[in-house]
Amino acid sequence: MAKADTLPQAPFLTVASPPHIHCGRTVSGIMKETAIALLPAVAMAVYYYGFDALRVIALSCVTAVVVEAACLKFMHRDVRVDDFSALLTGLLFGMLLPASAPWWLVMVGAAVAILMAKQAFGGIGANPLNPALVGWAALSISWPAHMDIDASMLQTEMVNAVSQLKYFGLDAANQLSLGQLFVGDQLSGLGSAQVAALLAGGLFLLARGHIRPHIPACFLLGVVVTAAIFASVDSATYAGPLFHLLAGSTIFGAFFLATEYASSPVNRTAMVLYGLIGGSMVVIIRVYGIYADGVPFAILLVNLFTPLFDLIKPKPFGAK
């Protein structure tokens, strides 16, 4: 205990009695605006993959909301699906799937995301990992043939940039121009590589103050620095930073997956470390791992670091 004479004499923090002015920020508002930020990417997905994209994303959203409502009902809690968090999880999850995903695959994945990753840990705000990514990971382990975008999307002309790099080397990957990658003309999960649209959505979220710039900026910085190190070692084998930024779901991960509130740290230093480690992990998995697009597993891994990063605490207000 501090001695009485060291305590501040004048009050440091005065809190008036309620009612207080409310800034108007609510959970449902944030979730709704994040979903709106994803709409351009959904539109691009429909443009590239046709109505299959809409079918998968809509089914994923509906399943997530229904499962969440059923869960809350079963646990005798308030059925607060009107906070749109389940809808957003379903939307994010649908964006990661290939357009060819059969209905049962989408439903199982969305149910796993809500049941196992979210409600089992206590619902909104208590999930240690990003629910959409947990659903994606469970499906990737269970049905690799259906989740392998190259194998299940043979009917398209589009080319998967990250798996070109993985399986056919840098020359094959360089067949795709950077501009092509930027407008999303690359095979991937439905919405996960619509780089331009996602960038617009991400900047909207930043402008509205729903996400802090630290995580996305440091995530992208981590990707750039690690990719630059690899490229400087051997530029004939390893792709450069720009390719890693634009190919696959790097932008999606940086702005929408890594910034998920419950599974990312809150302190500024912690956010910087979290972003840097996540970003460098993406390139490391792409270079050494068996998965062509390292983003989902990189973010799941770095989510596991969050409790550790949360030990970095700010000095309490008024502490000496």
Identify whether the C-beta of residue 300 lies closer than 8 Å to the C-beta of residue 134: yes
Burial readout 282-308 (b: 16 or more C-beta within 10 A, e: otherwise): bbebbbeeeebbbbbbbbbbbbebbee
Distance, in Å, from the CA atom of 24 to the CA atom of 63, rounded to the nearest integer, reads: 29
Nearer to other proteins, 59 or 205 (CB): 59
Nearer to other proteins, 67 or 161 (CB): 67
Among positions 108, 178, 221, 242, the unique one binding other proteins when judged by CB under 8 A: 108
Q: Does 170 bind other proteins (CB under 8 A)?
A: no
Q: Does 73 bind other proteins (CB under 8 A)?
A: no
Interacting stretch for other proteins, rule CB under 8 A, among 137-145, 160-168, 249-257, 275-283? 137-145
The set of residues, in sequence order, having a beta carbon less than 8 Å from that of 98 and lying 6+ positions away, is: 146, 147, 149, 152, 153, 189, 190
Interacting stretch for other proteins, rule CB under 8 A, among 83-91, 134-142, 156-164, 188-196? 134-142
Shortest Å distance, C-beta 141 to other proteins: 5
Shortest Å distance, C-beta 116 to other proteins: 7
Mutual angle of helices 27-49 and 195-208, in 10-degree steps: 170
Nearer to other proteins, 142 or 269 (CB): 142
Shortest Å distance, C-beta 53 to other proteins: 22
Q: How far is CA 298 from CA 51, 99, 135, 222, 257, in A?
A: 30, 23, 15, 12, 11
Q: Does 70 bind other proteins (CB under 8 A)?
A: no
Identify whether the C-beta of residue 83 lies closer than 8 Å to the C-beta of residue 31: yes
Identify whether the C-beta of residue 183 lies closer than 8 Å to the C-beta of residue 48: no
Interacting stretch for other proteins, rule CB under 8 A, among 46-54, 141-149, 230-238, 308-316? 141-149
Nearer to other proteins, 123 or 279 (CB): 123
Nearer to other proteins, 146 or 286 (CB): 146
- Cis bond before residue 19 (omega within 30° of 0): yes
Q: Does 138 bind other proteins (CB under 8 A)?
A: yes
Total binding residues for other proteins by CB under 8 A? 9
Distance, in Å, from the CA atom of 4 to the CA atom of 118, rounded to the nearest integer, reads: 46
Q: Does 143 bind other proteins (CB under 8 A)?
A: yes
Distance, in Å, from the CA atom of 299 to the CA atom of 275, rounded to the nearest integer, reads: 9
Distance, in Å, from the CA atom of 193 to the CA atom of 1, rounded to the nearest integer, reads: 55
Distance, in Å, from the CA atom of 172 to the CA atom of 55, rounded to the nearest integer, reads: 32
Nearer to other proteins, 140 or 180 (CB): 140
Shortest Å distance, C-beta 86 to other proteins: 20
Q: Does 141 bind other proteins (CB under 8 A)?
A: yes
Shortest Å distance, C-beta 134 to other proteins: 10
Shortest Å distance, C-beta 105 to other proteins: 9
Q: Does 116 bind other proteins (CB under 8 A)?
A: yes
Distance, in Å, from the CA atom of 259 to the CA atom of 298, rounded to the nearest integer, reads: 13
Q: Does 75 bind other proteins (CB under 8 A)?
A: no
Residues making contact with other proteins (CB under 8 A): 104, 108, 116, 120, 138, 141-143, 146
